[in-house]
Structures are given as C-alpha cells and as structure tokens.
C-alpha cells in the first residue's frame, strides 16, 4: 500500500529536522469560502497537514472558541458536503487533509459511504475524538479498503494497555492530548505531554503529534523538541473569529501559520 499524504508529510518534516505543523479549522467558518481560503493560506504558509473540523451539535471535547465557531457554522447551514468540498480544495492544492469529527455524523452518514466520499474528495482519513477502539465497528475494515488514515487519541490518563491497543489501530499518526481537558489555548504546554509521548513511543513507530493547548510559536518549539508533530486549533479559530473582515481573518491565519512554521524547527 502506498503511503498516505499524511505519512509523507510527517516524513518530509522529519527529513527537514522539524516537527510537522498540523492546523485545525472547522469547515464553514466563518463561511464556506473563507474557511477554504484560510485553509489554503495555512497550507501555503507552511502547515503540513490540515484538520478540517466537521461541525457537530454537541462538541463535548471542545472549549468555547471552537464550540462557538462550529455552532455558527451549523447555523450558517454547513453540511457534510461542504466539509468534503473543503477537503477537496485542500487536497487538490497538494496538502494532506484529515477530517476531525465526532462519531455520530459519520455513523449517521454510513461509515462505508463516508469513507468512499472522503476518499473521492482526496481526504487522507479521520481523526475521531470520541471513538474508542472497542466501538470502532466497521471503521478499521472500511478505512483499509479506502486506504484512509485512522487517528485516535491517547491521553495522559491512558494506561499502558490502552495505549498499546490504540496505537495498534492508528494509522498516519497518533494524536497525543497534551493534558486532561478540552480544546482551547493555554499559557504553557502541559508537563504531562513529554511523558505521554515517551510512553506512546514504546508501542509504535508511527509519528506522535501533540495537541490541546498549543497556540504560540514558543510552545510549538517546545513541543517540537519531543514530538513529531504540533497540532494547533483554537488559536487559528480565535483569529478568524476576531477578524473584522474575512480577508483580515485569512491574513491573520497566514501570519500565525508562518510564525508556527518557524517555531516547529528544531535546534
């Protein structure tokens, strides 16, 4: 099987002695076109992988910044098709795109149908924050069939046995939640992240990327010293939300990406 775009992106970053920069944006925020423009700006400014958030009515793992953005996106009428269009725009520009989604929208769409449509949009796979390996059902088989990545999360509280089971199922990379909590910017990177990445590496050779609470170039630099990837979400969304015009929002996303792309360099 050929490597996914995500695997290639992590390998390229490693070869350049830096961590991969993974940026998150919810589809359809502040509107579909601006969301796509922001994602493309992110890609051009140095993001290696883009997580496209599928807006969901009950985002349990998200703090106020992302929860408000997806609420507004849904109120604006965003549908799965808009998410897939966003993915298609990013992947046709040559950047790896994953969909970050709570499980119910995929479950409701039909796992096989979702995988088929995601693959045909050029998407690399799914990040699934509320799906456990135990409840994954057809997803492992179907994602094999469509050569899609499966990104599950490990947490500071995960016992070794769970890390082993989760990493066995992951493909593309492993998402290490830096802290016990929800999405949102924090003043400092949690000390638990280093230990979690080290514990995860005992079970897998997949890249390990750290997310939750990472928002500044300094924090990105700190994380790049021990992880293969740095995931930033709320900091981008906050800039888009705060911008007076869509153009300003896209520019703000570009600037932050450029700064973070410097931050993820090692040494």
173 binds another protein (CB under 8 A): no
> Is residue 154 involved in binding another protein (CB under 8 A)?
yes
> Which of 31, 93, 109, 116 contacts another protein by CB under 8 A?
109
Q: Which residues are catalytic?
A: 51, 62
d(CA 94, CA 202): 32
Q: Can residue 104 be called a binding residue for another protein (CB under 8 A)?
A: yes
Query: Applying CB under 8 A, which part among 36-44, 157-165, 228-236, 257-265 lies near another protein?
Result: 157-165
> Interface with another protein includes 74 (CB under 8 A)?
yes
Q: What is the DSSP string of 156-206?
A: TT--HHHHHHHHHH-BS-EEEE-SSS-SS--SS--THHHHHHHHHHTT--S
Range 57-70 burial, b when 16+ CB lie within 10 A, else e: eebebbbebbbbbb
- Rounded to whole angstroms, the Cα distance separating 213 from 153 reads 15
- Per CB under 8 A, does 132 bind another protein? yes
Please identify which residue in 12, 16, 33, 58 interacts with another protein, judged by CB under 8 A.
58
Using the minimum distance from each CB to another protein, give the nearer residue, 46 or 129.
Answer: 129
Residue identified by tokens 């400014």 is 45
> What is the Cα–Cα distance from 216 to 260, expressed in whole angstroms?
7
**Would you count residue 202 as binding another protein (CB under 8 A)?**
no
CB of 231 to another protein, least distance (A): 15
60 is a site residue for another protein (CB under 8 A) = yes
The strands making up 49-53's β-sheet, listed across from edge to edge, are 149-151, 125-127, 96-100, 49-53, 20-26, 229-232, 208-211, 174-177, 153-154
- Residue 61 near another protein by CB under 8 A: yes
The size of the interface with another protein (CB under 8 A), counted in residues, is 39
Q: Give the interface with another protein as residue ranges (CB under 8 A).
A: 56-61, 63, 67, 71, 74, 79-80, 103-109, 129-132, 134-135, 152-159, 162, 166, 177, 180-182
């Amino acid at each position: 099987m050929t490597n996914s775009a995500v695997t290639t992106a992590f390998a390229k970053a490693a070869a350049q002695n830096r961590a991969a920069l993974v940026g998150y944006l919810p589809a359809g925020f502040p509107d579909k076109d601006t969301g796509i423009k922001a994602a493309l700006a992110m890609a051009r400014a140095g993001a290696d992988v883009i997580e496209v958030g599928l807006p969901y009515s009950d985002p349990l793992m998200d703090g106020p910044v992302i929860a408000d953005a997806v609420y507004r996106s849904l109120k604006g009428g965003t549908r799965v098709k808009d998410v897939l269009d966003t993915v298609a725009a990013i992947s046709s520009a040559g950047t790896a795109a994953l969909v970050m989604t709570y499980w119910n929208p995929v479950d409701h769409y039909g796992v096989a149908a979702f995988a088929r449509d995601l693959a045909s949009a050029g998407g690399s796979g799914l990040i699934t924050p509320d799906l456990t390996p135990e409840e994954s059902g057809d997803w492992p088989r179907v994602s094999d069939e469509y050569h899609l990545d499966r990104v599950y999360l490990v947490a500071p509280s995960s016992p070794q046995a769970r890390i082993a089971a989760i990493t066995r199922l992951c493909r593309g990379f492993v998402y290490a939640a830096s802290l016990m909590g929800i999405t949102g910017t924090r003043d400092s990177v949690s000390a638990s992240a280093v230990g979690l990445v080290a514990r995860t590496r005992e079970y897998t050779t997949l890249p390990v990327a750290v997310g939750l609470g990472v928002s500044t170039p300094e924090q990105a630099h700190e994380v790049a010293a021990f992880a293969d990837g740095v995931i930033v979400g709320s900091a981008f969304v906050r800039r888009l939300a705060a911008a007076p015009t869509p153009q300003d929002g896209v520019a703000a996303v570009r600037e932050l990406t450029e700064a973070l792309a410097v931050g993820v360099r090692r040494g």
